[in-house]
Amino acid sequence: MRMSNLQLTLIVAGVLLVIGVLIFNAWQERRIRRRIDAAFRPAPPAADASRVEPTLRPVDGDANAVPRNAATASSLDGAPAGGKGAMESTFEPPMDVLASVPVDAPPTTIADVRGTGVQPDPDIECIMTLQPEQPVAVGAIAAGLHARLGKPLRWFGRRDGTAAWQRLTGDTPGEFSEVAACLLLADRNGAASRAQIEGFHRVIGELAPHLPAAWSAAPLDEEAARAEELDRLCAELDMQIGLTIQKADGTTIPGTKLRGVAEAAGFRLAPSGRFECVQEETGAVLYTLQGARGEPFTIDSLRIANVQGVVLVLDVPRVADPPRAFDQLKLAAKRMAQTLGGDLVDDNQRPLTDNALAAIRAQVVSASELLARAQIEPGSPRAHKLFAA
């Protein structure tokens, strides 16, 4: 049987579309690999890093004795350390580096991509190491633990050069012969600025003389450039999928009904004002449910409010196995739309067909693969740090 001109045209168009997708994916992969090479360069070995020997603050009126690499000097009593060889910290970070970002984000429940324990990550953090002349307890760096730099700051210590790094908090026991401070280079708020990295250098430079300790760090301009490149890479890889449920007749959804349907579907209202669907085995958030206008929910507001619509959101980089999570999201969205008497629509209020949902899933698969190629495994601690707001 001879094919019609329409059939031939459709076949040719389909072939050209497939070829176009393959060419685009190959071009995108090459671009991502260039970003990876620039952003995820190996950390320089300690021998090549800038090493600064400790210098003590002015003593007995010696105004000429200034700490090396310290732009300012201030001293307030820090928390005393207990135990053998402990010293009291008198260092306080300069006020111009204080911000609202907490030093230590809550520890993740997911295993670290570099091993079973949490470790410094030189690919995404600016790392500065301190080598005290004598082992020190955490009390000696207490003020540094509370520094605010505008980006998350983590501290680690180890007993000797062959031991594993241990995460340091204010109540970590023991003494450490080496300490590492790690400043995140980028997140969804952007790259760490040169001023933030300079403030980080200043904090370590002022802390070192009080241990005393030598310290080492990569050049400031190099780290600032690396932060910018890492931020550009993450911007290209970032993806959040939203499936909206609205009523076709424009009526609202009673808040009490929404809460009941959401909880029956496995959602729980979080302090953020969003409903979260959490994986029981790991405690990881699979996807969230929020108001179509972004308004936060509370128990009280849901009792009296009527909602214009809701959006189920999948944060692709922050979930393990994003395609599977999308399949669960799609099923939950369809069931909720049916129960609430609404329609599943896109951002332009057009109904989402099965073909449209299949196309969205293909995008999720592609994004997941690109993240893995960029050494950012979806759902890993590294992904959670880079794609935190």
Q: Which amino acid appears at position 252 of this protein?
A: T
Q: Write the DSSP string, 110-151.
A: SPPTTSSS----TTTEEEEEEEESS-B-GGGGHHHHT---SS
Please state the pTM of the whole predicted model.
0.71
In whole angstroms, give the CA distance from residue 321 to residue 372. Answer: 11
pLDDT at 14: 60
pLDDT at 96: 34
Residue 302 C-beta-side C-alpha neighbours within 13 Å? 20
pLDDT at 26: 62
Three-state DSSP at 210 gives helix
Q: Write the DSSP string, 255-302.
A: HHHHHHHHHHTTEEE-TTSSEEEE-TTT--EEEEEEETT-PPP-HHHH
pLDDT at 161: 81
- Cite the DSSP H helix spans in the chain: 5-39, 142-145, 194-207, 220-237, 255-264, 299-304, 322-340, 354-373, 381-386
Contact 141, 157 (CB under 8 A): no
pLDDT at 217: 83
Reply yes or no: is the peptide bond before residue 212 cis, omega within 30 of 0: yes
Contact 323, 371 (CB under 8 A): no
Task: Count other C-beta atoms under 10 Å from residue 173's C-beta.
Answer: 8
pLDDT at 283: 85
pLDDT at 5: 65
Per-residue pLDDT of the chain (389 residues; tens, 9 = 90+): 556 666 566 666 666 665 665 666 666 666 665 655 555 554 444 334 444 443 333 333 333 333 323 332 222 233 333 333 333 333 343 333 333 333 333 333 323 333 334 799 999 999 999 999 999 999 999 889 989 999 999 999 999 888 899 999 989 999 999 999 999 999 999 999 999 999 999 999 999 999 999 988 889 999 999 999 999 999 999 999 999 999 888 889 999 999 999 999 999 999 999 999 998 888 889 999 999 888 899 999 999 989 989 999 999 999 999 999 999 999 999 999 999 999 999 878 888 999 999 999 999 999 999 999 999 999 999 999 999 98
Identify which of 185, 178, 182, 183 has the alpha carbon closest to the alpha carbon of residue 208: 178
In whole angstroms, give the CA distance from residue 50 to residue 128. Answer: 10
Contact 216, 199 (CB under 8 A): no
